[in-house]
């Protein structure tokens, strides 16, 4: 009986060692996965864009500004083309933390211009209506009016998040409606009700998106500085370095 008991204990230890080995292997695999993948969402690559760096080998892409609104000196040495989504939280982060500083240092001084092109993501319900609303304001005004609405949309979303209009919480996707867009337009002096209801700028927005895909845009925000791609809500210092390099 003692011999039989000893044999039973030996089998149990062997089984325990085997299952422990499998468990250890599983932990190592999972750990390696997180080490190598990491969390890249901090840069603002909202859709499958694993490369937050400029285009391969630091190359440039010939990026058309189409007939989209221009902020700043049209003949500036540096042209910044942003493909963006009005409901994308990282696009709003870029606007609050980098774009406004770029405007102050480079656009307002005539060194650079900004062209905003639409790249609404399918899972942001209000992204395309927001893009249409901004285009409707431009139709009634001009490029300057467009950027007033552009800023208004991002400001109001910050308010809805409970933050400062130009700062504060920027990482949630707030919910709003077409009626809100119409009100925001009225707040800056434009009535876009019939224009927005008509959906007349849907094709224009689709064209922007198709162009963005052709240029390699996989997520928002995607910013081209004289054709050099900087992907994600990168810090102001990264844009400053890219712009200064083009100004030399």
The secondary structure of 18-63 as a DSSP string is HHHHHHHHHHHHHHHHHHHH--GGGGT--SS----SSSGGG-----
What CA–CA distance (Å, rounded) separates 40 from 89?
15
Beta strands in the chain (DSSP E): 70-72, 78-84, 112-118, 222-225, 228-231
* Highest averaged pLDDT of the listed ranges 32-36, 156-160, 165-169, 184-188: 184-188
pLDDT of residue 11: 40
What values do phi and psi take at 220, rounded to 5?
-125, 145
Three-state SS at 161:
coil
pLDDT of residue 58: 55
Average model confidence (pLDDT) for the chain?
A: 83
pLDDT of residue 4: 43
Mean of pLDDT values over 117-136: 97
Dump pLDDT digits (tens) for 184-226: 999 999 999 999 999 999 999 999 999 999 999 999 999 999 9
pLDDT at 241 over 70: yes
pLDDT of residue 17: 37
Mean of pLDDT values over 116-145: 97
pLDDT of residue 167: 87
Higher pLDDT, 153 or 169: 153
pLDDT at 25 over 60: no
Return the C-alpha torsion angle 34, 40, 41, 44, nearest 10: -170
pLDDT of residue 176: 96
Mean of pLDDT values over 170-180: 92
- Listed residue (220, 27, 227) closest to 130, CA to CA: 220
pLDDT of residue 44: 52
Q: How confident is the model at residue 170 (pLDDT cuts 50, 70, 90)?
A: confident
pLDDT of residue 18: 44
Beta strands in 29-184 (DSSP E): 70-72, 78-84, 112-118
Of the candidate CATH numbers 1.10.4160.10, 3.60.15.10, 3.40.30.10, 2.40.128.20, the domain formed by 56-247 belongs to 3.40.30.10
* pTM assigned to the model: 0.78
Mean of pLDDT values over 156-171: 88
Q: Which two tokens stand for residue 25?
A: 């292997």
**Any idea where the domains of the chain sit in the sequence?**
2-38, 56-247
Q: Which two tokens stand for residue 204?
A: 């224009």
């Amino acid at each position: 009986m003692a011999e039989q008991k000893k044999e039973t204990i030996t089998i149990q230890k062997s089984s325990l060692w085997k299952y422990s080995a499998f468990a250890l292997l599983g932990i190592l695999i999972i750990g390696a996965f997180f080490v190598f993948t990491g969390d890249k969402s901090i840069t603002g690559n909202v859709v499958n864009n694993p490369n937050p760096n400029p285009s391969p080998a630091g190359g440039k892409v010939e990026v058309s500004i189409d007939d989209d609104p221009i902020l700043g000196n049209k003949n500036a040495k540096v042209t910044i083309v942003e493909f963006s989504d009005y409901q994308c939280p990282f696009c709003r982060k870029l606007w609050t933390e980098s774009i406004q500083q770029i405007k102050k240092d480079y656009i307002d001084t005539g060194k650079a211009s900004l062209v905003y092109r639409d790249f609404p993501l399918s899972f942001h319900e209000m992204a395309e209506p927001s893009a249409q609303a901004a285009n409707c304001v431009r139709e009634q005004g001009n490029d300057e009016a467009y950027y007033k609405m552009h800023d208004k949309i991002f400001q109001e979303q910050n308010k809805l998040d409970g933050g400062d209009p130009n700062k504060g919480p920027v990482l949630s996707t707030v919910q709003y409606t077409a009626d809100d867009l119409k009100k925001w337009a009225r707040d800056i002096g434009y009535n876009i009700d019939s224009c927005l209801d008509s959906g007349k700028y849907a094709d224009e927005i689709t064209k922007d998106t198709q162009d963005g895909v052709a240029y390699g845009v996989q997520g928002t925000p995607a910013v081209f500085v004289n054709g050099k791609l900087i992907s994600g809500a990168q810090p102001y210092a990264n844009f400053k370095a890219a712009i200064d390099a083009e100004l030399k």
